[in-house]
Amino acid sequence: MKKAAWIFLLAVLLAWPFVAGEFYVNLASQIFIAAIFAAGLNLLVGYGGLPSLGHASFLGIAAYFSALLSLRWGLDHSLSAPLALAGTTLMAGLFGLIALRATGLGFLMLTLALSQVLWGTAYRWVAVTEGDNGLRGLTRPQIFGINLDDSTAFYFFALLVTAFSLWMISRLVASPFGAALQGTRDQARRMSALGHNVWLIRWLTFVYAGFWGGVSGLLFVYYHKYIHPASLSLTSSAEAMLSVIAGGSGTLAGPVIGAAIIVLLKNYVSAYVERWNMLLGFVFVAIVVFMPDGLVPGLKRLWARWSKP
C-alpha cells in the first residue's frame, strides 16, 4: 500500500507541470520552498522540543547574503550560493550559542528577540538593504545551461532540492544522533546522566536546522527575484510554526502538509476570501481541537480505525 502511494505521488509530481497551468506550477514551487523551511524548523520543535519563533532569520540571511553578493560584488550564483549558505550556517551557530542558554519559553523568547534584531536591521540599514524598498533586479541561476526563469524548469529544480532536503533530514532523524535528539526532548536529565552532552546535541541541531532554513532562503530569493525585510518578520516564523503544528510535529510528512495548507490559503484562497487570515485561524483551531497532535498522526489514527475488520 505504501509503495503504491509513493508511486502515485511521484507520478503526480512529475506530471504536474504538464497538466496544470503556470499559476499552479508556481504555486507548487512555493509549497516546496515552504516545505523545506518548515521541515528544518521541525527538527527543533518536533524532534528537539525547542519551540522557535526566529527561524525566519535563516531564510532572510541566506536570501540577503545571496542578493548582496550578486548585486554589490557581482559574484556568480555558483559562488554566491555556497557563500550565503556558509554565512547562514555560521550565523545559526552564533544564534545557537545565545538562544540555548535557555530552554522552553526562554528559548522561544530569545529566538524571537534575535530575529527581531535582524528584521529591524534590514529595515533601518537602508544603505545596504535598501530598507522597505527591498533588493530588486535579482536573477535566477542557470543549472547546466537550463534557464530557471521558465516556471517548469524552476519547478523541477525546486522539486529536486526539496526531495534531497527531506531525505537528508530524514536520515538525521533515523540516525543514532536523531535518537539522542529525541531523548533530550523527552528526558534531558536522564540523557545527561547517561553521558550525553545535551547542550551540544541541541546546538548541532540548531545549526543543522539553520542550514536548511538557508536552503529555503536561496530558493525563496531565486523564485521571487526580490527580497524584502518582511521575509525576516515574526509572521514568517509564525507561519512555519503553524505549518509544523498543523501537519504534525515530530513527523517527516507533517510540516510538508502543513506548509501546503498555509501556502494554498495564502496564495489561492485569499483570491476568493478577503479575510483569509481568519479562515486560517479557523482551520488551525479545528485541527487543534479534533487532531491535537496534527493532521498526519490524526489521519493515520483514523485510517487504522477504519481499516480494522
Element (H, E) at 235: helix 234-247
pLDDT at 114: 94
**Has residue 158 got a pLDDT over 80?**
yes
Nine cell digits for residue 278? 481568519
**Has residue 10 got a pLDDT over 90?**
no
As a whole-number percent, the residues of the chain with pLDDT over 70 amount to 98
Nine cell digits for residue 239? 507561519
Element (H, E) at 142: strand 142-143
pLDDT at 52: 93
Nine cell digits for residue 225? 527575484
**Average pLDDT over the chain, rounded to whole?**
91
What mean pLDDT do residues 61-69 have? 95
pLDDT at 170: 95
pLDDT at 176: 95
pLDDT at 144: 81
Rounded to whole angstroms, the Cα distance separating 88 from 42 reads 18
| Domain residue ranges of the chain, discontinuous segments joined by + | 2-232
Half-sphere exposure of 134 (CA within 13 A, CB side): 15
How much is the pTM? Answer: 0.93
Q: Amino acid identity, residue 35?
A: A
pLDDT at 142: 87
What mean pLDDT do residues 140-168 have? 92
* Per-residue pLDDT tens over the stretch 94-136: 999 999 998 888 999 999 999 999 999 999 999 899 988 999 8
**Has residue 13 got a pLDDT over 80?**
yes
- Find the range with the poorest average confidence among 78-82, 116-120, 304-308: 304-308
**Has residue 253 got a pLDDT over 80?**
yes
3-state secondary structure of 49: coil
* Per-residue pLDDT tens over the stretch 277-294: 777 788 888 888 888 888
pLDDT at 309: 59
pLDDT at 43: 96
Rounded to whole angstroms, the Cα distance separating 271 from 268 reads 6
Contact between residue 250 and residue 78 where contact means Cβ atoms under 8 Å apart: no
What mean pLDDT do residues 67-73 have? 91
